[in-house]
C-alpha cells in the first residue's frame, strides 16, 4: 500500500493544499474523478460569470435608449458564446500541472485512513476531504427521464431556449435565469416560497420587484413535470389550492445542492455527518477521525470558492507550515449574487438581529439620491447598513444595485478591521463616485445614534 504525507479527495478547493504541501517537500496526492479545477472552474463560478457578463452587456445595450441612443434589435450568437466559454474553461482545466501524484477516479474509504482508487489502496498521515457537492434533484413526479438541465448542463447548453422554465428561486437559478433571459429567452420561475430566501428582507422585497419586471414568477409547489413533443409542462400547486400549468422548451432544476459525502464510502469509517449529509468538523476542520479533515461544500459552513480558499490556506499553515494548532477563525464572510439587480452582502440581516434582540440602527440611502445614481438614471438600488447602538460597529451591510459586488468590499474591510461607523465617516469619498451612496448611508446611521 502506497503511503503519502497528504491525500486530498477532490480537485477543486483542495488543489492549493496539495500544491503547497508538495512545494514544501511533502509527498502529496490528489484524487479527482473529473477535470482538475473543481466545480468553480468547470461548472460553476467561472463559466457562469463568463455567461453573465455578456448578459449584462446585452442589458446595457437594451437600456441605452434611455440615454438617447437609437439601437436596433439585438441579435446574439448564443452557440458561439457557449463554445467560447467551454473552450476557455477546458483550456484552463487542462493547464493545471500537478506537482503531486494525481489519481483520476472515485475515492472510496475502506477504513478510517485507507482509500481505494483505481483498484489500489493508498493511505496518508493527513487526508483532506474536499469532494464538494452536486445539484439536488427533488422527487417530483415525472421529472426523472426528461432532458432537464441542472446548472452543469445549463453552462454547456448551445441552444438558446425560447422559453426557459426554472424550478427554484435561489441564487443559482436567479443568476442563470438572468443570463438566459438577458440573452433572449423568456424565463419563468417556479418559486416555492420567495426569491433569495436567505437575504435581508428589504433586499428580497426590492429584488423581487425589479427582477419580476424582466421575468415571470409562479409561486407554489411543483407537483408534476411531463415532457412531450420537445415541450416541458410543469404543474404548480398554488397556495390558493389552484393548479397552474406552465410550458416551455427547456427546464432548469435549481433547487439547491447536496454534499458528495454519500459516495465516499464513509459508512466504512467513523467519520460523522449531520442529518443533511454534511461532514461534521471541529474548529480545526478535523472530522471525528484523527488525521482526516474536511473543507468546502462538503462541510457546508460556507459554500463559496472564496471560503474554501480561506479554509485551504488555514490547513496549509496548520498542518505544514506553522503547526501551532490554532483553531480556524472566520473573518466576516461576504457574498455576491450576480443578477440584475446585483446584490452584495456581509454580516447579519435585519431579521437575524431582530431574532437575537440586538440593539441597532439602520443607515440607508438610495442610488438615485446621489450624483452617480442620477448619471445612471437609476430607478432602483440602495445601501443598507446595520450598526450596533453600543459599539457603533457594523453588524451587517447589504447593497442592491449596480456594482454591488465591488462596492461591498469597502464594508467587508470595515467589518474585518472592526471599524466603527465613526471611522467610516472620517473617510473622504470621491465625488461623484458611486460609493457616495455608502457615505450617505453612513451619515444616515450617525444621525440615528
Per-residue pLDDT tens for 429-447? 999 999 999 999 999 999 9
| pLDDT at residue 241, rounded to an integer | 87
Q: Which residue has the cell 475502506?
A: 110
Q: What is the pLDDT of residues 288-299, one digit of tens each?
A: 999 999 999 999
pLDDT category of residue 385 using cuts at 50, 70 and 90: very high
Do residues 28 and 20 lie in contact, with contact meaning Cβ atoms separated by under 8 Å?
no
Kindly state the average pLDDT of the residues 75-86. Answer: 96
- The DSSP code sequence of 242-283 is -EEEEEESEEEE---EEEGGGGTTGGGS---B-TTSPBP--T
- Inside any domain, residue 331: no
pLDDT band at 73 (very low <50, low <70, confident <90, very high): confident
Asked if residue 191 and residue 127 are part of one domain, the reply reads no
Assign 320 a pLDDT band (cuts: 50, 70, 90): very high
How far apart CA 267 and CA 295 sit, in angstroms, is: 19
pLDDT (average), residues 383-409: 98
Are residues 126 and 60 part of one domain? yes
Please tell me the number of Cα atoms within 13 Å of 406 on its side-chain side.
Answer: 5
User: Which cell numbers in the block locate residue 135?
Assistant: 445539484
User: For 158-304, where are the alpha helices, taking DSSP H only?
Assistant: 171-182, 201-211
Is residue 142 included in any domain, yes or no? Answer: no
Its pTM stands at 0.96
- Count of structural domains, the chain: 3
For the stretch 36-55, pLDDT in tens is 999 999 999 999 999 999 99
Average pLDDT over residues 125-134: 98
Please compute the mean of the pLDDT values over residues 265-291 and round it to a whole number.
97
pLDDT of residue 98: 92
Task: Write the CB contacts of 332 (distance below 8 Å, at least 6 apart in sequence).
Answer: 346, 347, 412, 415, 416
Judge whether residue 26 has pLDDT over 80: yes
What is the mean pLDDT of the segment spanning 252-258? 97
Look at residue 71 in the predicted model and tell me its pLDDT: 79
Give the DSSP letter of residue 430.
P
Tell me which residue range forms the domain holding 371.
Answer: 341-446
Q: Which residues are catalytic?
A: 431
Mean pLDDT, residues 99-127 = 97
Mapping DSSP to helix (H, G, I), strand (E, B) and coil, where does residue 236 land? strand
pLDDT of 324 above 80: no
Contact 411, 363 (CB under 8 A): no
Please tell me whether the peptide bond between 83 and the residue prior to it is cis, using omega within 30 degrees of 0: no
Give yes or no: residues 377 and 229 share one domain: no
Contact (Cβ atoms closer than 8 angstroms) between residue 136 and residue 258? yes
Q: What is the CATH number of the domain that holds 97?
A: 3.50.50.60
pLDDT value of position 72? 81
Is position 336 within any domain?
no
Is residue 330 scored above 90 in pLDDT?
A: yes
What pLDDT score was predicted for residue 323? 78
Do 251 and 278 have their domain in common? no
Whether residue 326 lies inside any domain: the answer is no
Supply the pLDDT for residue 156.
97
**Is the pLDDT assigned to residue 239 strictly greater than 90?**
no
- So what's the pLDDT on residue 240? 85
> What confidence score (pLDDT) does residue 268 get?
98
Give pLDDT, residue 104. 96
Q: Is the pLDDT of residue 84 over 80?
A: yes
List % helix, strand, coil for the chain (3-state, nearest 5).
35, 25, 40
- Give the β-pairing of 114-117 and 108-111: antiparallel
Helix (H, G, I), strand (E, B) or coil at 228: strand
- Report CA 36 to chain centroid distance, whole Å: 19
Q: Which three cell numbers stand for residue 48?
A: 457562469
**Pair (286, 426) in one structural domain:** no
Query: Would residue 63 count as lying in a domain?
Result: yes
Same domain, 174 and 267: no
Closest CA to 410 of 441, 445, 438: 438
Q: Are residues 240 and 269 in the same domain?
A: no
Q: Are residues 130 and 156 in the same domain?
A: no
Cα–Cα distance between 331 and 410 in angstroms, integer? 14
Are 292 and 348 in the same domain?
Answer: no
Q: What percent of the chain has pLDDT over 90?
A: 97
Nearest to 394 by CA among 326, 426, 434, 346: 346
Same domain (yes/no): 117, 15: yes
Residue 167 belongs to some domain of the structure: yes
Q: Is the peptide bond before 432 cis (omega within 30 degrees of 0)?
A: yes
Q: How many helices (H) and strands (E) does the chain have?
A: 13, 21
What pLDDT, on the 0 to 100 scale, is given for residue 362? 98
305 lies in the same domain as 420: no
| Any domain includes 181 | yes
Q: In the β-sheet with 382-388, what is the strand arrangement from edge to edge?
A: 335-337, 343-347, 394-400, 382-388, 360-366
Do residues 407 and 399 make contact, with C-beta atoms less than 8 angstroms apart?
A: yes
pLDDT of residue 307: 97
User: CB-based contacts of 441: which residues, under 8 Å, 6+ apart?
Assistant: 363, 364, 365, 383, 384, 385
Q: Which H or E run includes 219?
A: strand 216-219
In a domain, 278, yes or no: yes
10 and 130 within one domain: yes
Residue at a domain's end among 255, 276, 292: 255
Amino acid at each position: 500500500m502506497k503511503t503519502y504525507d497528504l491525500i486530498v479527495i477532490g480537485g477543486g478547493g483542495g488543489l492549493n493544499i496539495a500544491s503547497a504541501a508538495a512545494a514544501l517537500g511533502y509527498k502529496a496526492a490528489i484524487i479527482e474523478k473529473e477535470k482538475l479545477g473543481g466545480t468553480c472552474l468547470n461548472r460553476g463560478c467561472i463559466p457562469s460569470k463568463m455567461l453573465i457578463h455578456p448578459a449584462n452587456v446585452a442589458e446595457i445595450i437594451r437600456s441605452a435608449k434611455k440615454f438617447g441612443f437609437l439601437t436596433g434589435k439585438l441579435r446574439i450568437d448564443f452557440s458561439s458564446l457557449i463554445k467560447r466559454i467551454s473552450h476557455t474553461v477546458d483550456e484552463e482545466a487542462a493547464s493545471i500541472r500537478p506537482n503531486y501524484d494525481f489519481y483520476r477516479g472515485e475515492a472510496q474509504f475502506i477504513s478510517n485512513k485507507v482509500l481505494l482508487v483505481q483498484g489500489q489502496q493508498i493511505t496518508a498521515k493527513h487526508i483532506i476531504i474536499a469532494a464538494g457537492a452536486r445539484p439536488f434533484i427533488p422527487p417530483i413526479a415525472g421529472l426523472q427521464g426528461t432532458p432537464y438541465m441542472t446548472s452543469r448542463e445549463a453552462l454547456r447548453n448551445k441552444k438558446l431556449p425560447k422559453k426557459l422554465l426554472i424550478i427554484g428561486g435561489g441564487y443559482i437559478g436567479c443568476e442563470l435565469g438572468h443570463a438566459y433571459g438577458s440573452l433572449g429567452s423568456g424565463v419563468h420561475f417556479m418559486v416555492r416560497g420567495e426569491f433569495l430566501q436567505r437575504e435581508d428582507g428589504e433586499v428580497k422585497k426590492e429584488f423581487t420587484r425589479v427582477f419580476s419586471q424582466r421575468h415571470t414568477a409562479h409561486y407554489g409547489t411543483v407537483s408534476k413535470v411531463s415532457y412531450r413533443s420537445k415541450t416541458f409542462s410543469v404543474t404548480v400547486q398554488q397556495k390558493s389550492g389552484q393548479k397552474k400549468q406552465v410550458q416551455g422548451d427547456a427546464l432548469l432544476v435549481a433547487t439547491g445542492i447536496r454534499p458528495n459525502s454519500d459516495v465516499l464510502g464513509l459508512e466504512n469509517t467513523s467519520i460523522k455527518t449531520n442529518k443533511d449529509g454534511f461532514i461534521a468538523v471541529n474548529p480545526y476542520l478535523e472530522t471525528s477521525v484523527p488525521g482526516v479533515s474536511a473543507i468546502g461544500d462538503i462541510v457546508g459552513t460556507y459554500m463559496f470558492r472564496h471560503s474554501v480558499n480561506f479554509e485551504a490556506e488555514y490547513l496549509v499553515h496548520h498542518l505544514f507550515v506553522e503547526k501551532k494548532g490554532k483553531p480556524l477563525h472566520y473573518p466576516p464572510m461576504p457574498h455576491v449574487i450576480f443578477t440584475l439587480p446585483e446584490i452584495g452582502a456581509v454580516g447579519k440581516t435585519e431579521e437575524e438581529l431582530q431574532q437575537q434582540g440586538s440593539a441597532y440602527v439602520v443607515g440607508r440611502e438610495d442610488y438615485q439620491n446621489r450624483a452617480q445614481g442620477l448619471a445612471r438614471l437609476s430607478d432602483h438600488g440602495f445601501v443598507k447598513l446595520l450598526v450596533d447602538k453600543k459599539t457603533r460597529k457594523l453588524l451587517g451591510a447589504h447593497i442592491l444595485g449596480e456594482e454591488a459586488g465591488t462596492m461591498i468590499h469597502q464594508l467587508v474591510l470595515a467589518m474585518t478591521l472592526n471599524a466603527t461607523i465613526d471611522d467610516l465617516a472620517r473617510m473622504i469619498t470621491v465625488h461623484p463616485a458611486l460609493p457616495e451612496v455608502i457615505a450617505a448611508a453612513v451619515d444616515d446611521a450617525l444621525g440615528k445614534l
